[in-house]
Amino acid sequence: MSSKNALIEYCLRIADNSSILAHRLSEWSGHGPILEEDIAMSNMALDLIGQARGFYAYAATLENKGRSEDDLAFRRDAREFVNRNLVEQPDHKDFGTAIMRSFLYSCLSYLQFRTLMNSNDETVSGLSAKAIKEVIYHVRHCGDWIVRLGDGTEESHQRITDSLNDLWMYTNELFEQNEVDAILLNDGVGVDLTLLQQDWLNLVKEIFSQAQLTIPDVGGYQSSGGIKGLHTEHLGFILAEMQFLPRAYPDAIW
Amino acid sequence: MSDNNHQWPIWEVFIQPKNGSAHEHAGSVHAPDGEMALLNARDVYGRRLEGVNMWVVPALAIVASTPDDVGPFFDPANDKMYRWPNYFKTPEGIKQIS
Amino acid sequence: MHFVKRILANCNQTSNIGMETTLSVEELNKREAEFDAKIASGITIEPKDWMPERYRKQLLRMMSQHAHSEVVGMLPEGNWITRAPSLARKAVLLAKVQDEAGHGLYIYSAAETLGMDRSEMIDQLLSGKAKYSSIFNYPTLTWADIGAIGWLVDGAAIVNQTVLAKCSYGPYARAMLRICKEENFHNKQGYQIMAYLMRGTKEQREMAQDAMNRFWWPSLMMFGPSDTNSPNSGDLMKWKVKLHSNDDLRQRFIDRTVPQAEAIGLRIPDENLKFNESTRHYDFGEINWEEFKQVVSGNGPCNKLRMKQRADAHTNGAWVREAAAAYSAKKAASKN
Ligand SMILES: [Fe+2]
Ligand SMILES: [Fe+2]
Ligand SMILES: [Fe+2]
């Protein structure tokens, strides 16, 4: 694989993660637990859409095949999506699950962008420098909620514990790497995720200890394969909804 | 009132539009404490790059004068026009010092 | 009946909520006269000013209805956020719907200065006691409906709200000022969606015209019944809460919207629409007030669905609001 193709793939990963998580968060518009939080969730979704657009646009420029950011978001099928499976998990309008999903992902995203700010690739470092300000806020906002729910009422403690237990099997996968990472690491463009795993765990644990939450025992099935396009069943439904218009009216400009 | 209506108290939000200017009242949010009030204020009133600093103050902590106070509070200043620079007219023939 | 008990309007910004006082009839008449004089000379009424109980009540009813409309109004458009046809359109729509949440919040805050909690207002909405704008009880069936709503519904809202920004009650007027600045973006994005559709494929043009056909009349109904049939208009006009009649505002909306429709090739679904050279306004056909009455009284296509969605959000969020309150209480207790 060429360095260029590796970088395209890398940008798609970041963009897919952002756009799919944005999709999940945007499902909350009009359904939040209180108006203030409804607005906050939309803000996070908007940040993520912005990140997705930046990285899709860069991938489109690099591949130079006449595809646009929207072609990449709306005309690829599930097997071509390379997001981590965590971000596509449904929350069934359970606020704790939505917040936990964003929290676990944002902690990684924060560490990743912090390193990518110094990437040898100027566009990647520029996009990362913009994104990190947003992601710091997501970690803070979600972390704040985790603590409140964990140390709130008996019910909220139980519910957020359940969310954590349900989502934990998708966290190992956050650190999966392949050939793409090796090439970009070598070029000084990418990040070695294995080096971030401990920092991530520390960050997560710090919030969990304030929230009186304990990390579940690892055991049982661990999700794997998002970066190879191996997803859970949920992604297909997300894409069916998200891509419906451009696919139903292939010649239309909106 | 239904029991799932846990009403959080009101916080007044003040935003400093730019460095050097005074904080201005922007509106209010509901929040259970100051930390969340600040986060909520940021999300609600900072959607359009509206400032550089924010204060949140419990609405109940603000003591306001009442309409009946208007007279005693503000009228006494009426006859002290010498507090305003334009009260002092420079005598003719003297050069204006800014 | 020598003394009339009344509650002075209280205010977010003060601590003497619920201050009660009793006034003699003479005192009451004197205050009412003073109040009327203030209104007549265009002085803004602020939360702590004395106000007639009817003013407070009517204003509260109107403001809470307005706030509910903003929040319920998120639902028909929110439907399409996950299906928006491009990332740019998705971001714009999400930001737009989010603004509506902000509008609801601003207006609830302003209404709270009249002495009712937001939670109580929400209870009134969910119990069906409080109304909201009938327009949001129509379904959004295609993407073009998102264009039609931004352009027509927010367009109508702008006409209303621009006037309300000059109304006699300070907190309401200030909220409207803030909101009006944001509404122009809503209106423009809607019109742009329609303009793109109208210069697109045949299917897109049909989609746009179909949305126009469905949303035109309900948009006209947004201004409320004709002046001869509007029960509360008299008082609200007298107090300068409303500054123009429903019919005047409706006419203003039609006059500014028809040329916009023509500019992009959309037909107005009204046989009787015609520019009247002598009045310099558009004449238009009869509005179906029976339909309006039905929708307002709960029998529109989506009334039940909208209320269920709001009630679900409120109920599903209860444990979250409780948890945050419990956490703060614990922290506050451990500090003492
Ligand atoms: Fe609005
Ligand atoms: Fe509005
Ligand atoms: Fe709007």
State which amino acid sits at residue C328. S
Q: How far is the CA of C132 from the centre of ligand 2 (A)?
A: 11
Judge: C330–A151 Cβ closer than 8 Å, yes or no: yes
Question: ∠ CA(C250), CA(C253), CA(C259), 5° rounding?
Answer: 140
Distance from CA of B32 to the nearest CA of C (A): 5
> Cβ distance C212 to C219 under 8 Å?
no
Judge: B28–C12 Cβ closer than 8 Å, yes or no: yes
Q: What is the pLDDT of residue B48?
A: 81
Nearest C-alpha neighbor of A149 from the set C319, C333, B7, B37 = C319
| Best residue of B3, B10, B57 to probe chain C, by most C CBs closer than 10 Å | B10
Asked if the structure places residue A33 within a domain, the reply is yes
Question: For a pLDDT cut of 70, what percent of chain C falls above it?
Answer: 93
Count of domains forming chain A: 1
Residues of A in contact with B40 (CB under 8 A): 36-37, 39-40
Burial of C273 (0-12, 13-18, 19+ CB in 10 A): middle
| Interval C18-40 mean pLDDT | 84
Whether the CB of A100 is below 8 Å from some CB of chain C: the reply is no
Q: How far is the CA of C94 from the centre of ligand 1 (A)?
A: 13
The answer to whether residue C203 scores a pLDDT higher than 90 is: yes
- What residue in A sits closest to B40 (Cα-Cα)? A36
- Burial letters for B31-68: b for 16+ Cβ neighbours within 10 Å, e otherwise? bbbebbbbbbbbbbbebeeebeebbbbebbeeeeeeee
Q: What is the pLDDT of residue C21?
A: 60
State which amino acid sits at residue C174. R
- What residue in A sits closest to B33 (Cα-Cα)? A148
Q: What is the pLDDT of residue A33?
A: 97
Average pLDDT in chain A: 97
Quickly state the pLDDT bin for B73 (edges 50, 70, 90): confident
Asked if the structure places residue A65 within a domain, the reply is yes
Domain holding A91, by residue range, is 3-248
State which amino acid sits at residue A28. W
pLDDT one-digit tens code per residue, C205-259 = 999 999 999 999 999 999 999 877 777 778 889 999 989 999 999 999 999 999 9
3-class state of residue B52 by DSSP: coil
Backbone angles phi, psi at C81, to 5 degrees: -60, -45
The answer to whether residue C19 scores a pLDDT higher than 50 is: no
Burial of A225 (0-12, 13-18, 19+ CB in 10 A): middle
| Interval A11-39 mean pLDDT | 98
pLDDT one-digit tens code per residue, C135-181 = 999 999 999 999 999 999 999 999 999 999 999 999 999 999 999 98
Element (H, E) at A86: helix A85-88
Question: For a pLDDT cut of 90, what percent of chain C falls above it?
Answer: 87
| Interval A20-46 mean pLDDT | 97
C-alpha Rg value of chain C to the nearest Å: 22
Q: How far is the CA of C64 from the centre of ligand 2 (A)?
A: 12
The answer to whether residue A54 scores a pLDDT higher than 50 is: yes
Whether the CB of C105 is below 8 Å from some CB of chain B: the reply is yes
Distance from CA of B95 to the nearest CA of C (A): 43
The answer to whether residue B33 scores a pLDDT higher than 60 is: yes
Nearest C-alpha neighbor of A95 from the set A169, A166, A31, A165 = A31
Calpha distance C208→C199 (Å, rounded): 10
| Interval C20-40 mean pLDDT | 88
The answer to which of A144-158, B70-84, C212-226, C256-270 has the lowest mean pLDDT is B70-84
Q: What is the pLDDT of residue B88?
A: 76
Asked if the structure places residue A254 within a domain, the reply is no
Backbone angles phi, psi at A243, to 5 degrees: -95, 0
C281-283 and C274-276: which strand pairing? antiparallel
Domain spanning B4-65: CATH 3.10.20.520: yes
Name the β-bridge partners of B54. Answer: B15
Nearest C-alpha neighbor of B31 from the set A185, C328, C267 = C328
Q: What is the pLDDT of residue B6?
A: 64
Q: What is the pLDDT of residue C22?
A: 74
Whether the CB of C335 is below 8 Å from some CB of chain B: the reply is no
Write out residues 124-183 of C within 8 Å (CB-CB) of A.
143
Domain CATH code at residue A58: 1.20.1260.10
Cα dihedral value C235, C239, C241, C243, nearest 10? 90
Pick the residue with more confidence: B84 or A226?
A: A226
Judge: C15–B63 Cβ closer than 8 Å, yes or no: yes
The answer to whether residue C6 scores a pLDDT higher than 70 is: no
Asked if the structure places residue A27 within a domain, the reply is yes
pTM of the model: 0.92
Q: What is the pLDDT of residue A98?
A: 98
Distance from CA of B16 to the nearest CA of A (A): 20
Interhelix angle C53-72/C87-112, rounded to 10 degrees, is 160
- What residue in B sits closest to C320 (Cα-Cα)? B6
Q: How far is the CA of C160 from the centre of ligand 1 (A)?
A: 11
Residues of B in contact with A43 (CB under 8 A): 43, 47
3-class state of residue C41 by DSSP: coil
Instruction: Please report which residue ranges of A89-214 form alpha helices under DSSP H.
Output: 95-116, 122-150, 154-167, 179-186, 193-210
Calpha distance B46→B27 (Å, rounded): 12
Quickly state the pLDDT bin for B96 (edges 50, 70, 90): low
Whether the CB of B54 is below 8 Å from some CB of chain A: the reply is no
Quickly state the pLDDT bin for A218 (edges 50, 70, 90): confident
Asked if the structure places residue A253 within a domain, the reply is no
pLDDT one-digit tens code per residue, C54-84 = 999 999 999 999 999 999 999 999 999 999 9
Quickly state the pLDDT bin for A66 (edges 50, 70, 90): very high
Nearest C-alpha neighbor of A161 from the set A217, A97, A239, A94 = A97
Write out residues 25-44 of C within 8 Å (CB-CB) of B.
none
Instruction: Please report which residue ranges of C73-136 form alpha helices under DSSP H.
Output: 74-78, 87-112, 118-126
Q: Minimum-distance ligand to the CA of C96? A: 3
Calpha distance A197→A113 (Å, rounded): 14
Quickly state the pLDDT bin for C123 (edges 50, 70, 90): very high
Domain-by-domain residue ranges, chain B? 4-65
Calpha distance C221→C284 (Å, rounded): 13
The answer to whether residue A184 scores a pLDDT higher than 60 is: yes
pLDDT one-digit tens code per residue, A109-128 = 999 999 999 999 999 999 99
Quickly state the pLDDT bin for B92 (edges 50, 70, 90): confident
pLDDT one-digit tens code per residue, A123-154 = 999 999 999 999 999 999 999 999 999 999 99
> Cβ distance A157 to A72 under 8 Å?
no
Pick the residue with more confidence: C66 or C9?
A: C66
Q: What is the pLDDT of residue C228?
A: 77
Whether the CB of C178 is below 8 Å from some CB of chain B: the reply is yes
